[in-house]
Structure 1
């Protein structure tokens, strides 16, 4: 949790949010959360999610933009979790704090179950790629209804402002700038850039009757589609939900089936795939920044310090994040689908 947000959060804030959504406090259970406080609650024999964020991260209008995008995807036939109004009919409830405000939003809880080791197979990889391809294809026709609702651009995210959280001499600052420079050299068009989920990893969807049901659009932003793919690959390849013996072969297998599914629903060019290793590296570096957001690094225990050093060591390496030629792999996949 971002320390500036955690320091302001109180039981009174939670009680006020519960009141505004007319929830029985006995039916509220903390689930956790990295950048927001996330709760599950029961009401009228149904289950919902209550998320309490802060204006340090998002404005009220940014969240309304998130909800509008979710509704857009829902209308396009994608399985996503809808937001629900408060007792007063508001989609976002604002609760004043000492510095800014807390913002409470509620969502329908997604049907289905968490992804398990048993689900981790080629069928899932392909469905995962198909779903992301559908989002990228759909967003090409998306337009925000109000300019004030427009979501932030990916490079405006607070994690990219590394100078706020890192020491001035930290090598990660230059690495982030280098990655941003590379990725922003790509041309922006409706076929390469748009509003998308931007955090489509395995803990942000359930499987319902074998199909993906996506939630947690808190990070949705305007970004390059190749970066969005890179985010998914980073989590799926480096943090799989089962033990992998031959990692290189697993990387190839996952990429092959994921991109096969993706290309069923959307097109992407070889010139974009060239930047995929950089996209994966950037996501890794931003986790290093987030670690500094959430922790006082001057007082870490040995385990946490070792984790931080590992993040830094991998990020600072000149080796590609994945020991495979993604462009050649993509060519092979693309040609096999002709």
Structure 2
């Protein structure tokens, strides 16, 4: 059962005039794959707007994710071909190549070893969005619609939760948050999640580990875009 048929609001693909979901074109020997999706109704989530950024949103956020994780357990992995997990010692962020001075190499290798022994039972591991944060959500009359499934993969469910929370610790959002915000967010988020699916202890235990994963990803993003070199203080990995 797909997410849409299962009651999750997502941006649906649009067929081309040739009735294809993916079109392939070539330009000067370079191959491009073109796709199109329906425009998502609603507006971007603005953390400065209390009529949007509130406990109702956090509850719906958790309920949407809980429903997705529940549906993921019913999907046939052999019929949906997406990247599968993280192999032990696999350098998925190319840290070895980017970190020429080896500043975080040892920490990254230690992190990979931690990931390699995490349990992958069906209650903890399955098909996830993998980039589930407010930038990929729209809100319309209190309803959440999710889009941008480019990074969809078979991974730990806790990574969806980590992605949701991590971006709140960065950029302009952090100064707007009160000290009690993490507790407020997770309280309503998990209330919503539990409405659809059991909050397994293993998932909550894995969230800090996957938050660390997001830190490595964010560091690589800053470095690859050149932003890192312009920062006066580069303490992203603690």
Bin of the TM-score, shorter chain as denominator length: 0.7 to 0.9
**Cα separation, partners in 2 of 1:253 and 1:238, compared to 1, 3 Å:** farther
**Cα separation, partners in 2 of 1:262 and 1:145, compared to 1, 3 Å:** same
> C-alpha separation between the residues in 2 aligned to 1:139 and 1:225?
10
CA offsets per residue over residues 22-81 of structure 1, 9 Å max, x none? xxxxxxxxxxxxxxxxxxxxxxxxxxxxxxxxxxxxxxxxxxxxxxxxx81111111101
Alignment partner of 1:305 out of 224, 229, 238: 229
Alpha-carbon distance, 1:266 to partner: 1.5
In structure 2, the partner of 1:328 is none
Alpha-carbon distance, 1:204 to partner: 0.4
TM-score by length of 2: 0.86
> C-alpha separation between the residues in 1 aligned to 2:233 and 2:105?
15
> C-alpha separation between the residues in 1 aligned to 2:81 and 2:36?
20
CA offsets per residue over residues 211-266 of structure 1, 9 Å max, x none? 101111111111111122111111134457585253x3111111111112112211
Secondary structure of the 2:199 match is: coil
Alpha-carbon distance, 1:280 to partner: 0.8
CA offsets per residue over residues 54-113 of structure 1, 9 Å max, x none? xxxxxxxxxxxxxxxxx8111111110111111222211122356752211100011111
Confirm whether residue 212 of structure 1 aligns to residue 144 of structure 2: yes
Q: 1:173-192 counterparts in 2 under 5 A?
A: 173-192=105-124
Alignment partner of 2:156 out of 224, 233, 241: 224
- Say what the alpha-carbon RMSD is for the aligned residues: 2.5
In structure 2, the partner of 1:265 is 196
The number of equivalent residue pairs is 233
In structure 2, the partner of 1:134 is 67
**Contact residue 126 and residue 257 of structure 1 kept, 8 A:** yes
> C-alpha separation between the residues in 2 aligned to 1:308 and 1:181?
31
In structure 2, the partner of 1:120 is 53
> C-alpha separation between the residues in 2 aligned to 1:181 and 1:99?
40
> C-alpha separation between the residues in 2 aligned to 1:170 and 1:223?
27
Secondary structure of the 2:2 match is: helix
**Cα separation, partners in 2 of 1:289 and 1:155, compared to 1, 3 Å:** farther
In structure 2, the partner of 1:161 is 94
CA offsets per residue over residues 242-297 of structure 1, 9 Å max, x none? 85253x311111111111211221123323322321211210211111233334xx
In structure 2, the partner of 1:7 is none
**Contact residue 123 and residue 200 of structure 2 kept, 8 A:** no
Alpha-carbon distance, 1:163 to partner: 2.2
Secondary structure of the 2:134 match is: coil
TM-score by length of 1: 0.62
Higher RCO, 1 vs 2 (CA within 8 Å, ≥6 residues apart): 2
Secondary structure of the 1:94 match is: strand
Q: 1:46-61 counterparts in 2 under 5 A?
A: none
Where in structure 1 are there 5+ consecutive unaligned residues? 1-70, 318-338
**Cα separation, partners in 2 of 1:242 and 1:231, compared to 1, 3 Å:** closer
> C-alpha separation between the residues in 2 aligned to 1:195 and 1:86?
27
CA offsets per residue over residues 175-206 of structure 1, 9 Å max, x none? 33322322332211211100111111111011
